[in-house]
């Protein structure tokens, strides 16, 4: 049993909670590989409210619910709902909480998840509220690291290439800052390096933080965690083109290395397709863990684990 009814922020994910969720995730992974489905949530309805484009998150929550035989009901994209009529998030959540047993919501407005969790009479999961939080991604990311490396402490990690805006990097770095002896090297275009507040926060928590404009990926790293650059962040196309060639991991960067490669996906240029075949390219496994992680979370919040 989790000590909360709703997951809004990755700051709720203490090491104790993480241990519990990983154990539940292992159980769910065993269900998938042995039986495909299980009747654990056969008596439940999961509402999926996706008011912002998504494919992975939407599909993996749907799959997670259905592998546990829950019903899934959903409203997708603001344009096919009544939101445009001026209804508040509070009202919509109160209504949906009267229908379903648990609510999963993605919404473009930062802070919307906290508002929703506050008024919901059923458990609530934040599936991304704008640039703010995406806590289930942090569980997936840390679960992938733990499966591959056997620990969340004493890790030497590169984070790139847009650490400034990535909610995935913010949340994962904070989550891992709870564990001892971690070192984070942030890399990427200067304007997309993490802001000083985050660096101070991580350092205060005990992480050795560094910022490097160029990284030798063959150094002794355990994890290389990268995301895509977004063209619209660059004033001029030439600068963008320069950066996308520079901040791009190729086969010769990581072949034979012990470092595992993670990417929250979608992948654009940040990892060359030739890298996919390497044994340390684990980003598609990472994506696939979205299902057992979300099964574990749904079952836990519904009091079935």
Q: Summarize as ranges the residues that interact with a second copy (CB under 8 A).
A: 35-37, 42-45, 47, 50, 53-56, 58-60, 62-63, 66-67, 69, 71-77, 79-87, 90-92, 94-96, 98-101, 228, 265-268, 273, 284-285, 287-288, 290-291
Q: Is the peptide bond before 218 cis (omega within 30 degrees of 0)?
A: no
Residue number with CB closer to a second copy (45 or 211): 45
Q: Is the peptide bond before 162 cis (omega within 30 degrees of 0)?
A: no
Residue number with CB closer to a second copy (56 or 149): 56
Active site residue 170: no
Active site residue 37: no
Residues 223 and 5: their CA atoms lie apart, in Å, by 32
The catalytic position among 25, 57, 63, 144 is 57
Helices 56-67, 290-301: axis angle to 10 degrees equals 60
Nearest approach, Cβ of residue 240 and a second copy (Å): 13
Q: Which residues of 21-43 are buried (b: 16+ CB within 10 A; e: fewer)?
A: bbebbebbbebbeeeeebebbee
Nearest approach, Cβ of residue 295 and a second copy (Å): 11
Nearest approach, Cβ of residue 31 and a second copy (Å): 10
What tokens appear for 97 in the block? 């909480």
Report the 3 state secondary structure along 33-87.
HHCCCCHHHCCCEEEEEECCCCCHHHHHHHHHHHHCCCEEEEEECHHHCCHHHCC
The catalytic position among 44, 67, 107, 134 is 134
Write the CB contacts of 29 (distance below 8 Å, at least 6 apart in sequence): 289, 292
Active site residue 151: no
Nearest approach, Cβ of residue 200 and a second copy (Å): 31
> Closest by alpha carbon to 71, among 105, 50, 99?
99
Residues 107 and 149: their CA atoms lie apart, in Å, by 33
Residue number with CB closer to a second copy (58 or 215): 58
Residues 271 and 273: their CA atoms lie apart, in Å, by 6
Nearest approach, Cβ of residue 296 and a second copy (Å): 15
Nearest approach, Cβ of residue 242 and a second copy (Å): 18
Active site residue 134: yes
Cα 1 to Cα 17, 22, 24, 302, distances in angstroms: 9, 13, 10, 9
Residue number with CB closer to a second copy (177 or 264): 264
Active site residue 56: yes
Residue number with CB closer to a second copy (12 or 76): 76
Residue number with CB closer to a second copy (209 or 282): 282
> Closest by alpha carbon to 208, among 229, 179, 230?
179
Active site residues: 56-57, 85, 106, 134
């Amino acid at each position: 049993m989790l000590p909360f009814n709703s997951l809004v922020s990755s700051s709720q994910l203490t090491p104790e909670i993480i241990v519990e969720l990983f154990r539940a995730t292992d159980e769910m992974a065993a269900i998938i590989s042995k039986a495909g489905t299980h009747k654990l949530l056969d008596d439940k309805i999961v509402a999926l409210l996706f008011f912002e484009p998504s494919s992975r998150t939407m599909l993996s929550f749907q799959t997670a619910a259905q592998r546990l035989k829950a019903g899934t009901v959903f409203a997708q994209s603001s344009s096919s709902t009544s939101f445009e009529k001026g209804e508040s998030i509070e009202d919509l959540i109160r209504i949906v909480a009267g229908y379903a047993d648990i609510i999963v919501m993605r919404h473009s407005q930062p802070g919307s998840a906290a508002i929703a969790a506050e008024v919901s009479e059923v458990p609530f999961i934040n599936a991304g509220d704008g640039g703010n939080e995406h806590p289930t991604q942090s569980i997936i990311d840390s679960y992938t690291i733990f499966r591959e490396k056997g620990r969340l402490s004493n890790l030497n990690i590169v984070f790139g290439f847009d650490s400034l805006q990535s909610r995935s990097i913010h949340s994962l770095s904070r989550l891992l800052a709870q564990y001892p002896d971690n070192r984070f090297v942030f890399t990427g275009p200067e304007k997309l390096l993490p802001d000083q507040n985050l660096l101070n926060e991580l350092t205060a928590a005990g992480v050795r933080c560094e910022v490097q404009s160029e990284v030798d990926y063959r150094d002794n790293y355990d994890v290389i965690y990268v995301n895509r650059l977004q063209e619209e962040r660059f004033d001029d196309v030439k600068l963008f083109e320069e950066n996308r060639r520079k901040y791009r991991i190729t086969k010769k960067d990581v072949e034979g290395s012990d470092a595992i490669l993670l990417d929250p996906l979608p992948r654009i240029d940040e990892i060359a397709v030739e890298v996919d075949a390497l044994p340390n390219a684990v980003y598609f496994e990472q994506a696939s863990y979205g299902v057992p992680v979300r099964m574990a979370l749904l079952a836990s919040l519904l009091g079935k684990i």
